[in-house]
Amino acid sequence: MGAAMRRVQAGSALSSFGVGFTVPFLYVYVAEVRGLGSGVAGIVLAAFAMAALVVLPFTGRAIDRRGPLPVVVGAAAVASVGAVCLGLATGRAAAIGAAALLGAGTAVVQPALATMIVWCSTPETRTRSFAMQFFLQNLGLGIGGLIGGQIVDEDRAGSFLLLFSIESVMFLVLAGIVLTARMPQAPGIGADIPKGEAKGGLRTLVGHRAMVQLCVLGFVLFFACYGQFESGLSAYGVEAAGISPSTLGVALAANTAMIVVAQFAVLKFVERRKRSRVIATVGLIWAVAWLAAGYAGLGHGSQAMATAAFISTYALFGLGEAMLSPTVAPLVADLAPAGMVGSYNSAFALVKQLALAVGPAVGGPMGASLHAPYIVTFVLFSLGITFLALRLGKRLTPMQNQPSSAGSRVVMRGTPEAPEPATAGAA
């Protein structure tokens, strides 16, 4: 791992560490500590998500034209201001505005960091680089949440200001660290990229069938997993399986623990297999996870068995996430034409954000009241992941689907390998 990659990974991990201090407590902070009520808290969370949807369509072109470095620095500065303002907010308008700033900055940071990882890696190291980022981000979130839980005090608004201040500082640390990274062939701040400027923009992306299929697959992935964690699945666990709120915390911890333990254990399995088949396997694993959730809520076993099955659901989701992290993000980069890596990363981030917005809206009410239909629906969605992944594999070149077997023919920085008519349809 080169010096630039080490700095990017360190900055990414520390910013996630900062986010971990506030994410678990945002709803409680707005609704109870500031006394604004659950309705305003819901609007604040919606503003966080909507701001991301607004800025992401413009992020990709900014990354491709100016480079990811200035975009990361600018977005980190915006997120830092948003975090401080949210910690100081006492009224409805201030809280919503601060959440929008924080959401916009956080959303832009992610595809820009992903592009920096692409620039700092080769096809041979890219899979491990994204796996390392996912591992460090989850570790940072978990440690930040644990420490934040020891600091927070619902009777003292000042304790929340401290949490948001730590988050703000971590975003500034991210900006400072990446500014010291010497990016390979990367332009400095304020300089245009000399070569590979994106041409065609949205038309090129929409006309790229493999990328469109990957975006559809990505929406289903995020809708059926992340979009259910803190809404539909938790509501289902409480209402159908009789899971206590404290057990929900244990289930989330099991998810994080599985990611931390399994991330590098599954890496060799992932590297030696076609990406489409790895994603298809994740769909099958998640189908089993939803069946375990079904047993927890709809079975007739003891409460202890139901609790164990529900925790297993989150752990199985973590196993799937560990397999996806070194698979999907590098595939987005390898599909991108020269000069459009930022646009492709931003488009995929937008799809993820849409899924995270729609997922709770659909899954929440179903998980709370329509227990059997909820489980059946998401078992089918998981099997749909397997179907879509295998279908996507038919549109990938052998180099895009399994770089480890293609040697050095995949071009660095996202330049796609020209399709070979005789083999491009291989799954």
Indicate left, alpha or beta for 426 from its phi (over 0: left) and psi (-120 to 50: alpha).
beta
Residue whose C-alpha is closest to residue 126's, from 413, 323, 343, 419: 413
Instruction: Give me the amino acid identity at 68.
Output: P
- Residue 197's pLDDT is 42
Q: At what angle do helices 341-369 and 37-66 cross, to 10 degrees?
A: 160
Residue 415 has pLDDT above 50, yes or no: no
Overall average pLDDT of the 111-127 stretch:
86
As given in the structure block, the two tokens for residue 163 are 């949490």
Q: What are phi and psi for residue 354, nearest 5 degrees?
A: -60, -45
Residue 64 has pLDDT above 60, yes or no: yes
Q: What Å distances lie between residue 188 and 110, 183, 192, CA to CA? A: 20, 9, 8
Instruction: Give me the amino acid identity at 206.
Output: V
- Residue 196's pLDDT is 42
Q: Are 342 and 64 in contact (CB under 8 A)?
A: yes
The CATH homologous superfamily for domain 208-404 is MFS general substrate transporter like domains (1.20.1250.20)
Confidence class for position 216, pLDDT limits 50, 70, 90 = very high
pLDDT in tens, 129-177: 888 888 898 888 888 888 887 888 878 888 889 999 999 999 999 999 9
Report d(CA 80, CA 111) in Å as an integer: 17
Sign of CA dihedral 111, 230, 367, 298: positive
Residue 108 has pLDDT above 90, yes or no: yes
Q: What are phi and psi for residue 422, nearest 5 degrees?
A: -75, -25
The yes-or-no answer to whether 1-181 and 208-404 have a common fold is yes
Domain boundaries defined on the chain: 1-181, 208-404
Instruction: Give me the amino acid identity at 91.
Output: G
Q: Are 265 and 374 in contact (CB under 8 A)?
A: no
3-state secondary structure of 52: helix
Radius of gyration in angstroms for the set of CA atoms belonging to the chain, rounded to a whole number: 21
Q: What Å distances lie between residue 149 and 22, 43, 139, 165, CA to CA? A: 9, 24, 15, 15
Q: At what angle do helices 232-239 and 371-393 cross, to 10 degrees?
A: 150
Report d(CA 375, CA 236) in Å as an integer: 9
Mean pLDDT of all residues in the chain?
84
- What is the reported pTM? 0.79
Residue whose C-alpha is closest to residue 284's, from 232, 320, 324, 328: 320
- What is the DSSP code string of 228-292? HHTTHHHHHHHHTS---HHHHHHHHHHHHHHHHHHTTTTHHHHHTS-HHHHHHHHHHHHHHHHHH
Report d(CA 231, CA 357) in Å as an integer: 11
Instruction: Give me the amino acid identity at 264.
Output: F
Report d(CA 56, CA 62) in Å as an integer: 10
Instruction: Give me the amino acid identity at 153.
Output: D
As given in the structure block, the two tokens for residue 318 are 């973590």
List CB contacts of 5: < 8 A, sequence separation 6 or more: 117, 120, 121, 129
Tokens 């808290």 sit on residue: 41
- What is the DSSP code string of 113-140? HHHHHHHH--HHHHHHHHHHHHHHHHHH
Residue 192 has pLDDT above 70, yes or no: no
Q: Would you call 161 exposed, middle or buried from its count of C-beta atoms within 10 A (0-12, 13-18, 19+)?
A: middle
Instruction: Give me the amino acid identity at 150.
Output: Q
Residue 186 has pLDDT above 50, yes or no: no
Residue whose C-alpha is closest to residue 69's, from 134, 166, 4, 138: 4
As given in the structure block, the two tokens for residue 328 are 């999907």
The CATH number that domain 1-181 falls under is 1.20.1250.20
CA 187, 188, 191 angle in degrees (round to 5)?
A: 75
pLDDT in tens, 21-30: 887 778 778 8
pLDDT in tens, 274-328: 999 999 999 999 999 999 999 988 876 788 888 899 999 999 999 999 999 889 9
Residue whose C-alpha is closest to residue 357's, from 192, 226, 257: 226
As given in the structure block, the two tokens for residue 78 are 């915006």
- Residue 38's pLDDT is 77
Q: At what angle do helices 303-324 and 275-298 cross, to 10 degrees?
A: 170
